[in-house]
Amino acid sequence: MAAYINRTISLMSGDGPHNRPIAPLADTRTTRQMTDNSPLQIFVKAKKKINDIFVEIDDYVKDTVEYMHEIEKQQEIINPEKVKQTEDFVSKVHGIRDVLSRDHMKVAFFGRTSNGKSSVINAMLRDKVLPSGIGHTTNCFLQVEGSPTDEPYLILEGSEDHCAVDSVGQLAHALCKEKLNENQLVRVFWPRNRCLLLRDDVVFVDSPGVDVTPNLDEWIDKYCLDADVFVLVANAESTLMVTEKNFFHKVSTRLSKPNIFILNNRWDASANEPEYLDQVRRQHLDRAVDFLVKELKVCSQKEADERIFFISAKEALQARLAERGQSATTPFTEGFQTRYFEFQDFERKFEECISKSAVKTKFEQHSQRGKLIATQLREILDSIYTDAQISKEDRLKLRKEVHDKINHTETQLMMITQEMKQKIHHMVEDVEQRVSKALNDEIRRLSTLVDEFNVPFHSDSVVLNVYKKQLHSHVEAGLGSNLRARLSTALAMNMEASQREMTERMESIIPDKNKASAALILPRRQPFEILYRLNCDNLCADFHEDLEFRFSWGLTSIIQRFSNGGSGLLTLKNKKENPHNSIVPSTPTDMVDTTRLFYPTSVADDWSLISRIAMLGVSSQGTMGGLLLAGFLFKTVGWRIVVVTGGIYGCLYLYERLTWTNKAKEKAFKKQYVGHATRKLKMIVDLTSANCSHQVQQELSGTFARLCHLVDEATGDMDVQLKKLEHEAATLENAAGRAKVLRNKANYLAHELELFEDAYLKSHH
Q: Three-class SS of residue 164?
A: strand
Query: Using CA atoms, how far apart are residues 240 and 111, in angstroms rounded to an integer?
Result: 9
Shortest reach from residue 211's CB to ligand GDP, in Å: 10
Phi, psi dihedral angles at 324 (to 5 degrees): -85, 0
- C-beta of 251: minimal distance to ligand GDP in Å? 18
Cβ atoms 760, 359 nearer than 8 A? yes
- Mask for 290-319, x = binds ligand GDP (CB under 6 A): ----------------------xxx-----
Q: What are the DSSP E strand ranges found in 401-530?
A: none
Cβ-contact 110, 244 below 8 angstroms: yes
Residue with Cβ nearer ligand GDP (93 or 231) = 231
Question: Is 134 near ligand GDP (CB under 6 A)?
Answer: yes
Judged by CB under 6 A, does residue 138 bind ligand GDP? yes
- Least Cβ distance, residue 114 to ligand GDP (angstroms): 4
Helix, strand, or coil (residue 298): coil
Q: Kindly write down the DSSP assignment for every residue of 268-298, as one continuous string.
A: HHHTT-HHHHHHHHHHHHHHHHIIIIIII--
Binding residue (CB under 6 A) for ligand GDP from 113, 383, 494, 611:
113
**d(Cα 446, Cα 452) in Å, to the nearest integer?**
10
CB of 312 to ligand GDP, least distance (A): 4
Contact between 116 and ligand GDP by CB under 6 A: the answer reads: yes
Please report whether residue 235 would count as binding ligand GDP according to CB under 6 A. no
- Asked if 607 and 569 touch (Cβ cutoff 8 Å), the reply is no
CA atoms within 13 A on the CB side of 174: 20
- Exposed, middle or buried: residue 504 (CB in 10 Å: 0-12, 13-18, 19+)? exposed
Interaction between residue 119 and ligand GDP (CB under 6 A): yes
> Which C-beta is closer to ligand GDP: that of 114 or that of 703?
114
Q: How far is the CB of 269 from ligand GDP (least distance, A)?
A: 5
One symbol per residue from 73 to 112: x for binding ligand GDP (CB under 6 A), - otherwise; what is it? --------------------------------------x-
DSSP of 363-402: IHHHHHHHHHHHHHHHHHHHHHHHHHHHHHHHHHHHHHHH
| Complex with ligand GDP: residue 82 or 117, whichever CB lies closer | 117
Residue from 8, 41, 79, 137 in contact with ligand GDP (CB under 6 A):
137
- Asked if 492 is part of the footprint of ligand GDP (rule: CB under 6 A), the reply reads no
**CA neighbours closer than 13 Å in the CB half-sphere of residue 671:** 8
CB of 263 to ligand GDP, least distance (A): 9
Q: Binding to ligand GDP by residue 615, rule CB under 6 A?
A: no
Kindly tell me which residue out of 64, 86, 132, 389 binds ligand GDP, with binding defined by CB under 6 A: 132
What is residue 15's DSSP assignment? Answer: T
Q: Considering CB under 6 A, how many residues would be counted as binding ligand GDP? A: 20
Binding mask 257-276 for ligand GDP (x = CB under 6 A): --------xx-xx-------
Contacts of 209 (CB under 8 A, 6+ apart): 111, 112, 113, 114, 115, 137, 138
Instruction: Name which position in 133, 631, 638, 675 contacts ligand GDP (CB under 6 A).
Output: 133
d(CA 716, CA 713): 5
115/499 with CB nearer ligand GDP: 115
Q: Which residue number, 168 or 296, has a Cβ lying nearer to ligand GDP? A: 168
Tell me if 631 contacts ligand GDP by CB under 6 A: no
Give the rounded distance of the alpha carbon of 316 from its chain centre: 72
Are the C-beta atoms of 399 and 722 separated by less than 8 Å? yes
User: Per CB under 6 A, does 337 bind ligand GDP?
Assistant: no
Residue ranges that bind ligand GDP, judged by CB under 6 A: 111, 113-119, 132-134, 137-138, 265-266, 268-269, 312-314
